[in-house]
Structure 1
Amino acid sequence: MSNSKGDPRVLFLMNLVLSSAFASLVVWGLSYLDLLTFAWPTVAVATGIVMLLTYLVVW
């Protein structure tokens, strides 16, 4: 059991939820500082980038 990496679907969903929360917080903070406009497509792109970076770091 200690060698189990878990269900990949659960890991993907957890990565999606946590990455989207982090990305939305970052985009909101940058829009608060007037460095970026808050928009859902921007949050989606940032979520994809964070998910990719997370995957590359833990792989």
Structure 2
Amino acid sequence: MDDTDPDGFGAGAEQSKGDPRVVLALNVVLSTLFAVTIAWGMGFVGFLEFNLVNTATIAILLFAVAYAVSK
């Protein structure tokens, strides 16, 4: 095995565009999980009520920010 092969993994990773649907799906899942954590924590300390509307609002905001940063 030759580690100096220019057509190896590094070249393939640099040329790969990937599937943007995977990035969007990961963004949705991770934003939702993080929003649940944030909303629960804020509800625990009494800053806001832990409910579906607040959690969804936080998730949408997180998704939008992550989407804007990743573009």
What TM-score comes out, normalization by structure 2 length?
A: 0.74
After superposition, what is the alpha-carbon deviation per residue over 1:3-43, rounded to whole angstroms, capped at 9, x for unaligned? Answer: 33321211111100000010110000000000100001211
Q: Which residue number corresponds to residue 5 of structure 1? A: 17
Name the CA distance, whole Å, in 2 between partners of 1:6 and 1:47: 24
Q: Which runs of 4+ in 1 moved over 3 A?
A: none
Name the CA distance, whole Å, in 1 between partners of 2:41 and 2:15: 39
Higher RCO, 1 vs 2 (CA within 8 Å, ≥6 residues apart): 1
Runs of 5+ consecutive residues of structure 1 not aligned to the other structure:
none
Q: 5 Å matches for 1:46-57?
A: 46-57=58-69
Q: Which residue number corresponds to residue 28 of structure 2? A: 16
- The total of aligned residue pairs comes to 59
Amino acid at match of 2:51: A
What TM-score comes out, normalization by structure 1 length?
A: 0.87
Runs of 5+ consecutive residues of structure 2 not aligned to the other structure:
1-11
Amino acid at match of 2:32: S
Pick aligned residue for 2:42 from 30, 45, 49: 30
